[in-house]
Amino acid sequence: MPERLVTTETTPTSQATPPEEKHRGRWLIFLAILVVTAVAAYYFHERSAAQAKNPKAGGRGAMGDRPVPATTAPARQGDMGVYVKALGTVTPVNTVTVTSRVQGQITAVHYREGQTVRKGDPLVDIDPRPYQAALMQVEGQLARDKALLEEATIDLKRYQTALARNAIAQQTVQDQEQVVHQDEGVVKNDEGLVDNAKVNLVYCHITSPIDGRVGLRLVDVGNIVQANSTTSLVVVTQLTPITVIYSVAEDYLPQIQMQSRGGKKLAVDALDRTQETVLAHGTLDSLDNQIDVSTGTIKLRAMFANKDAMLFPNQFVNAKMLLNTLHNATLIPTQALQQSGQGPFVYVVGQDGVAKMRQVKPGPASGTETSATGVQPGEIVVTGGFDKIQEGSKVATGQQQGGAPNNRTQTPGPGNTGTNTQQEPQSGRGQRPSK
């Protein structure tokens, strides 16, 4: 079968656009862009001119938008303490571990666990009967040797009288003198034994060596204790006064030494773990004699009266030492400080209610306030509402210019502290800026 030759003819669905029409379309698009740009420029020009004549007519911030609600506070002039803070450990001035110096059975325990004792108060009694018997033995031996000494002394006097009449030889007198000396030595030895027996008898009645507080009971009645053993009978710790040992960087050492000259005592406060509650007030007592080369710090010891026993041995506290005091410094709330690429700054609200950024140099801080240079006392700084504030924003402060309060003051009463609190503007009242 002969093959059929099929010829396919493509018919264009659309004709090519002439070059003149392409150029005409581009010119129309370009002309439309120019028209839109001109209209937008005219609109913004007219709006800017209107805002320049009436800043409250519209816009944002200083451009006439509604004032941004924010909390403010005035900078003030006052004194600011320069503090050094460190973690410290409460350390007793004296801690005594009481052990037995004689061997025997415990017959009585006189203290209660946790009791406060005075020096000389009874703590533990050990059976004294063996030591009383030993004392009687050495006292009897002493009496016997004293009698022998007296007899030898009488004989010596008799021999000396006989020698004066040439009745005996000189050697007999000299021998008797040596017998007297020997008996004197024996008597002295006996006296030492008596004193030792008396001391052992005293050791059977154990008393507190210092004023302090006893710990938990470590032995019970009936136990046998050994002389000079490492087993503790009781531990007595002095609580008043008490010290806190803490370490600071060696960079502070010159300032501490300069402030401590002339017998001046630097004030030190002991705070709890949260650094919000002051447990006790004290003073710097002494410095260590060398710097720890491994940490670059030096140890300091502060003394506290601890009358109310708020500090406890081995307790961890935060030591806050007053190193210096800045007088007549400009103080601002710490929350007013903000950070930018150029450094710390604050928003200062002027007489027109407009917030302006101002670079400041913060100094020492204490509590909720920070000393800063770059702000004058009496100037109003923004302390809250930063998420809606920018350079030139108009700020609705808590107090109108001229001193008229803009927020209500509550009267103290049940559930009310009487402090000024900012109130949200209610509808229908004249809190909105006039347009």
Q: What is the pLDDT of residue 141?
A: 96
| 67-71, 180-184, 281-285, 310-314: segment of lowest average pLDDT | 67-71
Mean pLDDT (whole number) for 21-43? 76
* Residue 66 binned pLDDT confidence (cut-offs 50, 70, 90): confident
pLDDT band of 36, cuts 50, 70, 90 = confident
**Which range has the worst mean pLDDT, 126-130, 262-266, 294-298?**
262-266
The gap from C-alpha 326 to its chain's centroid, in whole angstroms, comes to 21
Tell me the pLDDT of the chain averaged across its residues.
82
In angstroms, rounded to a whole number, what is the distance separating the alpha carbons of residues 8 and 314? Answer: 104
Looking at residue 10, its pLDDT comes to: 44
Give yes or no for residue 413 having a pLDDT over 90: no
Asked whether the predicted pLDDT for residue 398 surpasses 60, the reply is no
Q: With bands split at pLDDT 50, 70 and 90, how would you rate the model's confidence at 410?
A: very low
How much is the average pLDDT of 392-405? 57
Specify whether domain 95-126+209-237 bears CATH 2.40.50.100: yes
Instruction: For residue range 247-267, list pLDDT tens digits in order.
Output: 999 999 999 998 888 778 899
Q: What is the dihedral of CA 350, 353, 355, 356, to 10 degrees?
A: -30
* Structure tokens that stand for 333 in this block: 């709330």
pLDDT exceeds cutoff 60 at 202: yes
CATH number among 3.30.365.10, 1.10.390.10, 2.40.10.220, 2.40.420.20, domain 61-77+329-396: 2.40.420.20
Secondary-structure class of domain 84-93+238-326 per CATH: mainly beta
pLDDT score of 292: 94
Reference 125, options 192, 178, 202; nearest CA is 202
Please check whether residue 243 is in contact with residue 90, taking contact to mean a CB–CB distance below 8 angstroms. yes
Question: Rounded to 10 degrees, what is the CA torsion of 108, 112, 115, 120?
Answer: -10
Architecture of domain 128-203: Orthogonal Bundle (1.10)
What pLDDT shows up at residue 82? 87
pLDDT band at 229 (very low <50, low <70, confident <90, very high): confident
Query: Taking Cα atoms as reference points, which of 236, 239, 237 lies closest to residue 124?
Result: 236
Are 274 and 242 in contact by the 8 Å Cβ rule? The answer is no
